[in-house]
């Protein structure tokens, strides 16, 4: 089932076309990769999908509902969550407190502090941050800080999770653990849209890839098909991925 769709999206900033008729879809329980060179329009697409950037034309659908003109906070309530390329954490709060804030906002009920703690603890452990749960987020290395963002997004109980370069700053061991986490989340039914420059990670976890270049989709398909596409090799992958 398609939990999130972008259909023929175009976005212009003055005389610059950031997206030009771009489309993609994310399935429940699937991991879709959105790749392309710097400036291709990937983060703009994330901003469109979450309602931060309005479209000049096209539609955004969540669970078959047209949300093109729906505000970001209402999309979040419909199950759309994201992380950011630039870290957006409460540096003075602990890891656990960061996740509790998100859980509390999502719950929106009386007595939500206790309920938020019950939600946050298992999520912090699930992303592998249990040992640093009571460390201030601002003191964490980048790789762990990005996991805080993932846990915080998961605390909103999303149907689809948009991850913007979540593996940046992670060690090889951390990336392997993160890949396992993504597969587990997808197995639980979560739809995931992944923007990531680590092609080893992308090729290992994504079932479907969409490639952007200058705001246009130049290829879409399985990782095996995309890695062999001449236009993709020329525009982006080059020698990043072997031909084997």
**Are 151 and 207 in a shared domain?**
no
CA pair distance 193, 157, nearest whole angstrom = 16
pLDDT for residue 237 = 59
CA pair distance 201, 241, nearest whole angstrom = 11
**Are 109 and 229 in a shared domain?**
no
CA pair distance 43, 23, nearest whole angstrom = 14
**Are 90 and 144 in a shared domain?**
yes
pLDDT by 10-residue block (mean), the chain, 244 residues: 96 95 97 93 96 97 96 94 88 94 77 78 95 96 93 95 92 92 97 94 95 94 90 67 37
**Are 93 and 200 in a shared domain?**
no
Report the domain count for the chain: 2
CA pair distance 148, 176, nearest whole angstrom = 17
**Are 12 and 75 in a shared domain?**
yes
Q: In what order do the strands lie in the sheet with 208-213?
A: 80-82, 160-164, 191-195, 31-35, 208-213, 216-221
What is the CATH number for 194?
3.40.50.300
**Are 30 and 133 in a shared domain?**
no
**Are 22 and 41 in a shared domain?**
yes
**Are 198 and 153 in a shared domain?**
no
**Are 244 and 164 in a shared domain?**
yes
pLDDT for residue 244 = 32
**Are 34 and 108 in a shared domain?**
no
pLDDT for residue 241 = 44
Containing domain of residue 125, as a range? 86-157
Those residues whose C-beta lies under 8 Å from the C-beta of residue 138, and which sit 6 or more positions away, are 89, 91, 92
8 Å CB contact between 100 and 117: yes
Measured distance between the N- and C-terminal CA atoms of the chain, rounded to whole angstroms: 32
Q: Please name which of 159, 166, 175 lies closest in space to residue 61, comparing C-alpha atoms.
A: 159
What's the whole-model pTM score? 0.91
**Are 128 and 202 in a shared domain?**
no
8 Å CB contact between 17 and 215: yes
What phi, psi does 134 have (nearest 5°)? Answer: -105, 20
């Amino acid at each position: 089932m398609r939990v999130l769709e972008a259909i023929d999206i175009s976005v212009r900033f003055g005389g610059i076309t950031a997206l030009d008729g771009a489309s993609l879809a994310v399935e429940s329980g699937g991991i879709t990769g959105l790749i392309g060179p710097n400036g291709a329009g990937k983060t703009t697409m994330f901003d469109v999908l979450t309602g931060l950037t309005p479209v000049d034309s096209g539609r955004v659908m969540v669970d078959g509902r047209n949300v093109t003109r729906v505000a970001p906070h209402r999309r979040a309530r419909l199950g759309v969550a994201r992380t950011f390329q630039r870290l957006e954490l409460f540096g003075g709060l602990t890891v656990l407190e960061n996740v509790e804030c998100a859980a509390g906002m999502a719950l929106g009920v009386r007595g939500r502090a206790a309920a938020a703690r019950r939600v946050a603890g298992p999520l912090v452990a699930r992303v592998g941050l249990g040992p640093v749960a009571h460390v201030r987020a601002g003191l964490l290395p980048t790789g762990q800080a990005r996991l805080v963002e993932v846990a915080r997004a998961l605390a909103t109980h999303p149907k689809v999770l948009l991850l913007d370069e979540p593996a940046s700053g992670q060690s090889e061991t951390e990336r392997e653990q993160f890949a396992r986490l993504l597969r587990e989340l997808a197995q639980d039914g979560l739809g995931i849209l992944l923007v990531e420059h680590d092609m080893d990670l992308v090729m290992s976890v994504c079932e479907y890839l969409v490639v952007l270049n200058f705001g246009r989709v130049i290829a879409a398909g399985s990782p095996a098909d995309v890695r062999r596409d001449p236009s993709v090799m020329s525009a982006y992958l080059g020698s990043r991925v072997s031909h084997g």
